[in-house]
Chains A and B, each alone.
Chain A
Amino acid sequence: MSQFFEYKDTIKEGDLVLAWLSRDNLKPITVKAGEVFNTRYGAFSHSDMIGKPFGSQIAIRTKGSNRFGFIHVLQPTPELWSISLPHRTQIVYTPDSSYIMQRMECNPRSRVIEAGTGSGSFSHAFARSAGHLFSYEFHEVRYEQAKQEFKEHGLLEAGNTTITHRDVCKDGFEIKNGDTTSHEFRGPEETKVELNADCIFLDLPAPWDAIPNLTSVISKEKKVNLCCFSPCIEQVDKTLEALEEEGWQDVQTVEIQGRQYEARRQMVRRLDDAIERLRDVKRRKHEGVEKRQKNVEQTSNNGSSVEATESDKDLKHTEKTHFNPFGKGSRVKEGDSNFEWTQVSKVELEIKSHTSFLTFASKIIDRTRDEEQTKAYLATFKDEGSKLSKREQRRLKAQANKDIQKE
């Protein structure tokens, strides 16, 4: 089983963990006793992680200082992986991938085709949820990297993921004995892999060239769902043409917009306090003027510089006690308990305003039924009533009346 999908409690030697440094800084590490994970926050010994439960916070105190460093060690999931993975290409993020999976009814019985593999972001989510994933990549280096990664992550071992080196536009999706693929053929008698795919995801520049190649590998037993992921509207247009030609139905293009908000606080600043503060400033000024006048009088009276310094102190003193309800002039930390705050949400500084267009379609190859088989099957129900239940009859009657009224 893959460490991505099999829940574990304690960290063992050889496990892949994601070290969480900050929201946008997660580092995958393979735990090995004696090794050290160096970060700008300090050096974390792998041995400190072994035996700890996943999710533990690991704190270190750096030598010779009173400072601390800490990380959280998490078990990888496809969603965390897609935040932390090394980008070799553009990747599909969770708002898109989760919608695509939900819309294509991806579940443990699904047989998924994905092309190209790219950085393998979506592959992990598919591999978790699907019965089988067939992933294709024509870029040799990327293929090798992804294969190695799938192996390390236990996807290949789990037995439900196959990655194949292939230009799917030119050479289609069939996997034959002798092809460059992670599939291990049982021997010469196994000539090809039965794909029977019912869930197709195409994330490549020219999906219209790949679409005609699907015919021989998609399931004849059930409805097949497809999604093409393309950034440009021109690509969508060409895809629609290909889908129409190939007899795909229920075609619809959509876009997904995901947003993330930060939970923040805004200070509650009341009008009365603002007025009071100005009143205070005015009063101070007034007092200041009076004092200065007194000073001037005094200085001119006896010309002493000592007196002047003292009255300066007086001035400072009034400044200190002035009314400052909003902490003006000092740095106030958001949430400082000396002030009142209201909760606000702030959208990210930069949002992903466009990822790609998602074009969905479906196809049923076999629109017949086995009449004999159906007849035999139905015969086992022959004793079940052919009449509508009383309740159903009442409901229909009411419905019919409503229909009539509407017309």
Chain B
Amino acid sequence: MTKHSGIDPLTQISPNQHVLIRLPSDNLKIVELKANAIVSLGKFGAFRVNEIIGYRFGTTFDIVYDGVEEEFVKGTQTMIGKISVLENRLKASSPALENSSENNRGLINLGSVVQEMSMAEIEAMKREAASGDAIISKMIESHKSFHQKTVHSQEKYLKRKKQKFAKFFTVEYLDSSGLLHYLIEKGDVLRVMDISQESLGMALNLANINSNGQYLCIDETGGLIVYAMLERMFAGDSNSKANGKIVVVHENEHPNLDLLKFSSYSDNFIQRHVKTISVLDFFEPAKEADIKSLFKPLSAEEINDLKSNKKSAYFRRLKWYHNQLSNIEVAASSFDGLLVASTLYLPTLIPRLGEKIHGSRPIVCYSQYKEPLLELSHSLYENLNYLAPSLLETRCRPYQTVRGKLHPLMTMKGGGGYLMWCHRVLPAAEPKLHQETLEKSEIKNSDEEGDEDAHKLDQEKQVIKRRKPNEDNEKL
């Protein structure tokens, strides 16, 4: 997407892009913005896209119906309102907290008696009212014991009410974390292999993803991993001059990078930076001579001379031809890193892919479960081409973030997956020793330093041994 007359689609809300909309309930929604179109948020109301274009991402809007001509989203009861910008979500329709009793001793729960407005009144107001703000103020007025609540419980009460009646929403840039949260909330965790934001972030760092790397990837999350890699490499910017590339190997005839449909890169850009190839073509590439014998590109004149009905067939064949040649090239190249999120059997998968990785480059493998990575680690320990496989876990624990009342939340999402991290290395050639001596000698790292270090050294050796049984012998 090009920067258009001063509106930057990466920082400002623009048409023809997918954005994340955070509803009052904190639920998320992905919406493709189309100029002149209407977006309906269901029970939270509806608005015209043009009214939010040009504002910064992260802005919170209120839908107001003050003096708005009655117009409904076709076929629904949702009325189209007008947009007004809110200072922030918290302040969205929150009247100052005052007159609160020090504690809520005076508060007796009378249920709906305390709340004097009836549901019917509220519903009517929702239709007519200026904004969620007005409804809530009205409710507070009629809430007899509101002022008897403590500030903290007033806040809680307001938050609850606000979520129920408010019509505000926040428009966010759709980054990989936002996309992941959306999928998690939608109950699509299994589709993304139960990966958490923290595991995703750590995988990207450990794999040293940066703008100019050539990466090899398997992504069974429907494209979330690739989406996140692209963000780290190009920041959503189709004008990026960086030359990084991701080769995505897939096990089916066709790749599944469905989630990339939410990104705003041009098709051209994706074609240049993301190459998909099946495991068959990757591991058993065709021979160049065979491809060339099957098809000969024509000269410009020859193409001109083709009948129009033959032309399209020619171009289809030409595309196939180029794709075949590029597959052959990809299958023969080396990469700057391997990032895998796959349920294929890892102990045989990773070493095959690892052959294509340059020395010293990181290999990162994500799995929903620990056991497949454990098995992988054991098998890589025994392989001289991989250095120090580590099995890692990272978990984020969110807190109730209220001053004076900080504590970890009572529940949090379980799961989040595990990572295996190691480096591709190139084992040394056979050491120059007679076979006989080699067999007899006890191969060990030699101890050249004085005795004062002996104890420490012993410890260290034990560490090495413990972590890698037989390492010493295997490595030489």
Contacts and interface: CB of A to CB of B under 8 A. Distances in A.
A339 interface: no
Interface in A150-178: none
Given A377-B54, A397-B76, A385 B36 contact: yes
Interface stretch (B106-114, B230-238, B298-306): B230-238
Interface stretch (B217-225, B246-254, B289-297, B432-440): B432-440
B211 to A, nearest CB: 5
B210 A5 contact: yes
Nearest to A56: B426
B336 interface: yes
B202 A67 contact: no
A273 interface: no
A333 B208 CA distance: 36
A259 B392 CA distance: 6
A55 B360 contact: yes
Nearest to B237: A109
B308 interface: no
Interface residues of B, number: 128
Contacts of B449: 40
Given A61-B431, A262-B467, A105 B201 contact: no
A233 B361 contact: no
Nearest to A9: B358
B288 interface: no
Contacts of A249: 88-90
B428 A56 contact: yes
A5 B388 CA distance: 22
B388 A343 contact: no
A221 B8 contact: yes
Interface string A85-118: 0000000001101110111010111100000000
A66 interface: yes
A223 B55 CA distance: 11
A247 B428 CA distance: 59
B59 A128 contact: no
A254 to B, nearest CB: 5
A301 to B, nearest CB: 50
A102 B177 contact: yes
A227 interface: no
Given A66-B441, A79-B208, A393-B75, A335 B470 contact: yes
Given A94-B206, A366-B56, A254 B399 contact: yes
Contacts of B394: 95, 98-99, 256-259
Contacts of B235: 107-110, 131
Contacts of B404: 237
Nearest to A107: B235
Interface of A: prevailing SS: mixed
Interface stretch (A17-25, A185-193, A288-296, A311-319): A17-25
Contacts of B358: 7, 9, 53-55
Nearest to A251: B401
Which has the most chain A C-beta neighbours within 10 Å: B6, B209, B425?
B425
B212 interface: yes
Interface string A126-148: 00110100000000000000000
Interface stretch (B134-142, B258-266, B318-326, B375-383): B375-383
Contact of A98 (B11, B73, B204, B443): B204
A23 B447 CA distance: 18
A99 B443 CA distance: 42
A295 B406 CA distance: 80
Interface string A233-256: 100110011001001011111111
Given A62-B448, A250-B89, A397-B75, 14 more contacts: A9-B359, A40-B445, A53-B358, A59-B428, A61-B432, A66-B437, A67-B442, A74-B423, A75-B360, A105-B173, A105-B231, A129-B232, A261-B391, A400-B75
Closest 8 CB pairs of A and B: A55-B359, A102-B201, A66-B441, A55-B360, A381-B35, A223-B58, A369-B54, A54-B360
28 contacts: A5-B210, A5-B212, A9-B359, A38-B448, A41-B445, A53-B358, A53-B359, A55-B424, A55-B426, A59-B428, A66-B443, A74-B360, A97-B205, A99-B201, A102-B201, A108-B234, A221-B8, A233-B406, A259-B394, A263-B389, A357-B399, A362-B58, A370-B6, A373-B5, A376-B5, A378-B53, A396-B40, A399-B40
